[in-house]
């Protein structure tokens, strides 16, 4: 990544007024959260077809397996802390330029960093709550996970006895309608989509930046590796979110004639 790329991106950022930040696993790996889809990740060790939404709904055995492995997914999330990449997105909001954050992450780290919860659109749900699939009652994940740790193999809703599932989107589970529609609506109305830490391969989430570009927005991609959208981007920054994003915002503010 060159200084020239930073300058180009900063120039775009300094002129943008309604920015949609689109984040993926890359921003959270810098907080020590494993990318479950990467080589050596959880989905290399377990067969995803055994953990589909359909299996979860239809088989008590599948639910038992799901909950017995849930600790593997949950513990890294709660022990992680936001990093300077998340802080940079908070800075963007305080600067008044952020429209919203569309995230593929389920770890709640944007909110914990200080981003306004009503500006965070979680396309793949959240691991921090659990809902009853019958009466929709929401429970904190902490509370349900504690029940599992205490020996409850398949926790049931205390209200109606229904099946409970963490509010993450599983394989084979439809995307949340409201969040998905909102993400696309925001993307179509932004003037800059800034991708941070997403390889843009998981669809339909990855179509959000495409929608922004098609509606005339600029596109900046900051990611550790190539993405299928690099060609469509105005600037591609190859690097770490926690290192590059703060520099970029600082430079953009300087160009906008403001001090950070």
Q: Does 157 bind Zn ion (CB under 5 A)?
A: yes
Q: Does 135 bind Zn ion (CB under 5 A)?
A: yes
Active site residue 207: no
Taking the C-alpha atoms of residue 233 and residue 65, their distance in angstroms, rounded to an integer, is 42
Task: Work out how close the CB of 145 gets to Zn ion at its nearest, in angstroms, rounded to a whole number.
Answer: 18
Nearer to Zn ion, 15 or 156 (CB): 156
> Residue 165 corresponds to which tokens in the numbers above?
């599932």
Give CA–CA dist 147/139, Å, rounded: 12
Q: Residue 159 or 204: which CB sits closer to Zn ion?
A: 159
Phi, psi dihedral angles at 122 (to 5 degrees): -95, 100
The answer to whether residue 138 forms part of the interface with Zn ion (CB under 5 A) is no
Q: Which of 86, 124, 139, 207 is catalytic?
A: 124
Q: Are 50 and 62 in contact (CB under 8 A)?
A: yes
DSSP-based three-state secondary structure for 114: coil
Give the CA angle between residues 245, 248, 253 to the nearest 5°.
125
Measure the CA–CA gap between 65 and 126, rounded to whole angstroms: 20
Nearest by Cα to 242 from 92, 24, 28: 28
- Considering the rule CB under 5 A, would residue 162 count as an interface residue with Zn ion? yes
Could you tell me which stretch among 26-34, 99-107, 136-144, 172-180 binds Zn ion (CB under 5 A)? Answer: 136-144
Least Å distance, CB 133 to Zn ion, is 8
Q: Whose Cβ is closer to Zn ion: residue 162's or residue 239's?
A: 162
Q: Does 159 bind Zn ion (CB under 5 A)?
A: yes
In whole angstroms, the minimum distance from the beta carbon of 73 to Zn ion comes to: 23
Q: Give the span between the Cα atoms of 62 and 64, in whole angstroms.
A: 5
In the list 132, 190, 210, 244, the residue contacting Zn ion (rule: CB under 5 A) is 132
How many whole angstroms separate alpha carbon 133 and alpha carbon 57? 9
Q: Which is nearer to Zn ion, 45 or 136 (CB)?
A: 136
Q: Under rule CB under 5 A, how many of the chain's residues touch Zn ion? A: 8
Alpha carbon 58 to its chain centroid, in Å, reads 28
| The pair of three-digit structure tokens given for residue 117, joined into one six-digit string | 């919860």
Rounded to the nearest whole angstrom, what is the least distance from the CB of residue 160 to Zn ion in the complex?
3
Options 154-162, 197-205, 233-241, 251-259: segment touching Zn ion (CB under 5 A): 154-162
Give me the active site residues, please: 124
Q: Which residues bind Zn ion (CB under 5 A)?
A: 132, 134-135, 137, 157, 159-160, 162
């Amino acid at each position: 990544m060159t200084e020239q790329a930073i300058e180009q991106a900063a120039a775009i950022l300094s002129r943008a007024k309604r920015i949609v930040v689109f984040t993926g696993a890359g921003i959270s790996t810098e907080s020590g959260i494993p990318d479950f889809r990467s080589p050596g990740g959880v989905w290399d060790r377990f067969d995803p077809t055994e953990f589909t939404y359909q299996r979860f709904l239809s088989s008590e055995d599948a639910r038992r397996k799901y909950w017995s492995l849930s600790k593997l997914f949950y513990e890294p999330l709660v022990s992680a802390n936001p990093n300077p990449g998340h802080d940079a997105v908070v800075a963007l909001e305080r600067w008044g330029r952020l429209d919203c954050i569309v995230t593929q992450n389920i770890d709640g780290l944007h909110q914990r960093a200080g981003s306004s919860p009503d500006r965070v659109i979680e396309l793949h749900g959240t691991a921090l709550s659990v809902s009853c699939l019958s009466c929709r009652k929401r429970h904190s994940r902490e509370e349900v996970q504690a029940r599992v740790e205490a020996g409850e193999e398949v926790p049931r809703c205390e209200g109606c006895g229904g099946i409970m599932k963490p509010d993450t989107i599983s394989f084979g589970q439809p995307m949340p309608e409201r969040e998905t529609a909102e993400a696309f609506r925001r993307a179509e109305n932004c003037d800059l989509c800034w991708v941070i830490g997403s390889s843009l391969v998981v669809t339909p989430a990855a179509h959000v930046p495409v929608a922004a570009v098609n509606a005339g927005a600029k596109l900046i991609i900051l990611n550790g590796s190539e993405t299928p959208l690099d060609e469509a981007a105005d600037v591609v920054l190859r690097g770490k979110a926690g290192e590059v994003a703060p520099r970029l915002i600082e430079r953009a503010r300087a160009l906008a004639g403001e001090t950070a």
